[in-house]
């Protein structure tokens, strides 16, 4: 992949396309609604198509192809490839190549959309300067797929058909072909693109860093609302192999729900989840760093008290680490026993089932202990944070 050393050599096709699409889309929408061409069927179709194509980027291009955080049935993959093409964000191979580099070299010079080169560079500028196409060598796992190769080699055909021709044809069914092209085509493409670009700019610029403070990626709930859950970007960069981005039940992560739903009907499998104790450990480490930075002789005043506080933090952290370790050990034992259990004949099952049940009980107890340790940690942290703020 070429280096970023010549950012001023512009790719004029990209510059013109990325600038003309929103202009055409907005001008088309004004013409369409102001001249009595407005058609409710076109509007509904465009909204549905916007979401279908957008979620094909997040669930397909991103979490399935770039990160392989789960597996999906072939027809689901084909649908993601076809609908993802409609967003004019490059082929799966191009998109995944850049994205894997973004993760591998995050916040470094090699990162194709590094935020330290500026908000607008990370948002869209890098595409104005992008003068290369991937050749598949960096993503050999994806290159094996005939459909992915075909999409890459005939990308303009795929994207023009799915992005512009298809919405025009659909809306022609109710006599609004031009509305289909303007609203379901150009305006939708512009929205799809700007929302994806927000992840590279806004989510490396504004928001919180609960899982790692060493990276620029941030959790931004507002961006998550607009991008089917991709806004929980600090978690995603900390654990890129996890099929979820928003891990709390109330986090708006429509992509996670879609993948989970697909798994429930047998269309997706091998959903990768990072064990909760590992996630908790990262969170606690980040919190610990912030807490220790806040505690100083200026804030606590007494050196004896300060030393005592640091010792208490050490102890609480140790307790959490032990509870996490115990949970990991029991989980591993439980998983291996479960595999053996499933391969046994029914006659051998009874004694074995008792062992599995025993271990399951221990696992739940370890889970409760970890929860209690975290609650104690939190109470302690809140208390010391308050003390340091007095
Ligand atoms: Zn990122
Ligand atoms: Zn990613």
Which of 23-27, 85-89, 350-354, 374-378 is least confident?
A: 350-354
Tens of pLDDT, residue by residue over 124-146, are 999 999 998 999 999 999 999 99
Strands 268-269 and 71-72: antiparallel
Distance 104 CA to ligand 2 centre (A): 10
Q: Note the pLDDT of residue 337.
A: 81
Q: Note the pLDDT of residue 312.
A: 94
**Ramachandran sector of residue 244 (left: φ over 0; alpha: ψ -120 to 50; beta: rest):** beta
269 beta partners? 71
CB atoms within 10 A of CB 27: 13
pLDDT band at 343 (very low <50, low <70, confident <90, very high): confident
Which of 48-52, 166-170, 352-356 is least confident?
A: 352-356
Distance 225 CA to ligand 1 centre (A): 17
CB atoms within 10 A of CB 48: 11
Which of 162-166, 314-318, 321-325, 348-352 is least confident?
A: 348-352
Q: Using alpha carbons, list the distances in angstroms from residue 128 to 108, 281, 302.
A: 20, 40, 56
Distance 356 CA to ligand 2 centre (A): 36
Say yes or no to pLDDT of 3 above 50.
Answer: no
Residues 6+ apart with CB under 8 A from 288: 313, 317
Say yes or no to pLDDT of 205 above 60.
Answer: yes
Q: What residue segments make up the domains of the chain, in order of their start?
A: 12-269, 276-389
Say yes or no to pLDDT of 346 above 70.
Answer: no
Which listed ligand is nearest to 65 at the C-alpha? Answer: 2
Q: With beta carbons less than 8 A apart as the criterion, state whether 203 and 233 touch.
A: yes
Which of 174-178, 186-190, 303-307 is least confident?
A: 303-307
Q: Which two tokens stand for residue 75?
A: 């027809």
Residues 6+ apart with CB under 8 A from 180: 42, 45, 46, 167, 168, 169, 170, 171, 172
Which of 212-216, 248-252, 330-334 is least confident?
A: 330-334
Percent of the chain at pLDDT > 70 equals: 97
Q: Which two tokens stand for residue 269?
A: 């499998």
Tens of pLDDT, residue by residue over 108-125, are 999 999 999 999 999 999
Distance 99 CA to ligand 1 centre (A): 8
Q: Which of 223, 19, 278, 8 is nearest to 117 (CA)?
A: 8
Q: How far is residue 357's CA from residue 363's CA, in Å, rounded to a whole number?
A: 10
Q: With beta carbons less than 8 A apart as the criterion, state whether 88 and 163 touch.
A: yes
Q: With beta carbons less than 8 A apart as the criterion, state whether 230 and 203 touch.
A: yes
Q: Which two tokens stand for residue 206?
A: 């504004």
The per-residue pLDDT of the chain, averaged, comes to 93
Mean pLDDT of 218-225: 98
Q: How far is residue 31's CA from residue 24's CA, in Å, rounded to a whole number?
A: 10
Q: How far is residue 240's CA from residue 373's CA, in Å, rounded to a whole number?
A: 27
Say yes or no to pLDDT of 1 above 80.
Answer: no
Q: CA geometry: angle at 219 spanning 216 and 223, to 5°?
A: 110
Say yes or no to pLDDT of 336 above 90.
Answer: no
Distance 255 CA to ligand 1 centre (A): 16
**Ramachandran sector of residue 234 (left: φ over 0; alpha: ψ -120 to 50; beta: rest):** alpha
DSSP 140-209: HHHHT-HHHHHHHHTHHHHHHIIIIIHHHHHHHTTT-HHHIIIIIIIIHHHHHHHHHHHHHHGGGTSSB-
| Coil, strand or helix at 269 | strand
Q: Note the pLDDT of residue 302.
A: 86
Distance 99 CA to ligand 2 centre (A): 6
Kindly report the pTM of this predicted structure: 0.91
| CA gyration radius, the chain | 25
Distance 56 CA to ligand 2 centre (A): 14
Distance 317 CA to ligand 1 centre (A): 29
Q: Which two tokens stand for residue 249?
A: 């039940």
Q: Which of 235, 241, 231, 220 is nearest to 100 (CA)?
A: 241
Q: How many CA atoms lie within 13 A of 335 on its CB side?
A: 7
Q: What is the distance of C-alpha 242 from the center of its chain?
A: 9
Which listed ligand is nearest to 243 at the C-alpha? Answer: 2
Q: Note the pLDDT of residue 170.
A: 98
Which of 64-68, 332-336, 346-350 is least confident?
A: 346-350
Mean pLDDT of 154-166: 98
Which listed ligand is nearest to 115 at the C-alpha? Answer: 1
Q: Note the pLDDT of residue 296.
A: 85
Q: How far is residue 151's CA from residue 90's CA, in Å, rounded to a whole number?
A: 10
């Amino acid at each position: 992949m070429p280096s970023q050393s010549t950012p001023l050599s512009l790719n004029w096709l990209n510059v013109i396309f990325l600038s003309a699409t929103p202009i055409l889309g907005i001008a088309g929408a004004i013409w369409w609604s102001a001249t009595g061409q407005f058609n409710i069927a076109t509007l509904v179709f465009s909204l549905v198509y916007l979401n279908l194509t957008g979620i094909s980027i997040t669930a397909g291009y991103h979490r399935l192809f770039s990160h392989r955080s789960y597996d999906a049935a072939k027809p689901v993959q084909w649908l993601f490839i076809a609908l993802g093409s409609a967003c004019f964000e490059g082929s799966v191979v191009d998109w995944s190549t850049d994205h894997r580099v973004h993760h591998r070299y995050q916040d470094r010079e090699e990162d194709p959309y590094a935020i330290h080169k500026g908000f607008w560079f990370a948002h869209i500028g890098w595409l104005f300067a992008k003068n290369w196409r991937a050749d598949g060598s960096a993503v050999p796992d994806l290159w094996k797929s005939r459909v992915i190769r075909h999409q890459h080699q005939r990308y303009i055909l795929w994207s023009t058909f799915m992005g512009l021709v298809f919405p025009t044809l659909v809306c022609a069914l109710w006599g609004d072909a031009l509305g289909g092209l303007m609203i379901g085509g150009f305006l939708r493409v512009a929205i799809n693109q700007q929302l994806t670009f927000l992840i590279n700019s806004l989510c490396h610029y504004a928001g919180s860093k609960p899982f790692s403070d060493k990276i620029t990626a941030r959790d931004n709930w507002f961006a998550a609302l607009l991008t089917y859950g991709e806004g929980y970007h600090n978690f995603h960069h900390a654990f890129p192999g996890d099929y979820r981005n928003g891990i709390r039940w109330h986090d708006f992560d429509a992509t996670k729900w879609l993948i989970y739903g697909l798994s429930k009907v047998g269309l997706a499998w091998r959903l990768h989840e990072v064990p909760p104790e590992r996630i908790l450990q990262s969170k606690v480490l980040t919190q610990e760093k912030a807490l220790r930075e806040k505690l100083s002789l200026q804030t606590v005043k007494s050196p004896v008290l300060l030393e005592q506080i640091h010792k208490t933090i050490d102890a609480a952290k140790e307790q959490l680490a032990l509870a996490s370790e115990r949970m990991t050990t029991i989980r591993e034992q439980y998983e291996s026993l479960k595999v053996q259990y499933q391969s046994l004949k029914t006659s051998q099952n009874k004694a074995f089932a008792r062992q599995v049940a025993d271990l399951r009980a221990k696992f739940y107890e370890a889970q409760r202990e970890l929860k209690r340790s975290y609650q104690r940690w939190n109470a302690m942290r809140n208390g010391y944070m308050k003390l340091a703020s007095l």
